Amino acid sequence: MKTLHALSDITPDLRGASIAIGNFDGVHKGHQAVLEQARAAAPDAPLAVLTFEPHPREIFQPAAPPFRLMNAEARGHRLAKLGVDILYELPFDAALRDLSDTAFCAEVLAKGLGVTHVTVGSDFRYGKARAGDVDKLTACGAANGFGVTVAELIALPGVGQVSSTAIRAALSEGRPREAAAMLGHWHRIEGPVIHGAKRGRELGYPTANMGLPRLHRPAFGVYAVLAEVLDGPHTGSYSGVASLGVRPMFEGDAPNLETFLFDFDGDLYDAHLSIALVEFLRPEAKFDGLEGLIAQIKRDEASAREVLAAL
């Protein structure tokens, strides 16, 4: 998959795609349906996604709590796995924010990208003050020589309408399997391994520590996880147990994710990891001493191994 960050980067061979437009936060089943319809609408054209970085909500609501299900890196990885050929990840800046809906169609979609077809969800809004809707987009497409498909929102039995909001709620309540049902994949936290206090190593459980910048925070606690080491000498798939939270035993502050990989021996500092939350095992807890903590970690490891062996 080719990733482009500016209209000026788009060469003639990268024009003429059938594109799906949206934030694609989580790349959930609703987003996947949009991608499938974009592919079907123009099967001979490259399949592309047009999205924006940072997420527009971060610009319009800068004081809001972290809400993103994925960072840009994780979103790109997921879109590539789904067969997207081109990712147009344009900067959401003042110039783009102030474009009218008509100008966005003409200058970005038609002139800038030279799109063959556009597919969006039925709730899609665009342009300054979100003045554009699917009806305006359809009319604009007709005027500028590209087709438009509107994908209806989808719902799942026993779950309801699939949305990033519903997925956040499931994760906040410690229901990662329900979130996965809506996502169509495990919810993953991706990023580089950072240096921590190295307490896990002293306890006999060395962990790979990752921050959670700008990401929605699932329920704090201990999880059975699946891990992908994305680069470096230890690239591959592993199972593990992870603690997500503020480390109350050691008076932590900024939340992070600490993952212990089963049957692993190696240095992961600066490697990029993708950690899938499979099952919530227990909330965070503070213990009277290190012996109690170590005993609980052993129980957590056993529980996680049992959960993951059943997958």
Q: Active-site positions?
A: 258
> Could you write out the DSSP letters of every residue in the chain?
-EEE-SGGG--GGG-S-EEEES--SS--HHHHHHHHHHHHHSTTSPEEEEEEES-HHHHH-TTSPP-BSS-HHHHHHHHHHTT-SEEEEEE--HHHHT--HHHIIIIIIIIIS--SEEEEETT--BSGGG-B-HHHHHHHHHHHT-EEEEEPP-EETTTEE--HHHHHHHHHTT-HHHHHHHHTS-EEEEEE-B----HHHHHT---EEEE-TTB--PPSEEEEEEEEE-SSTT-EEEEEEEEEE--GGGT--S-EEEEEETT--S--TT-EEEEEEEEEEEE----SSHHHHHHHHHHHHHHHHHHHHT-
Strands 18-21 and 47-53: parallel
Distance CA 308, CA 279 (A): 9
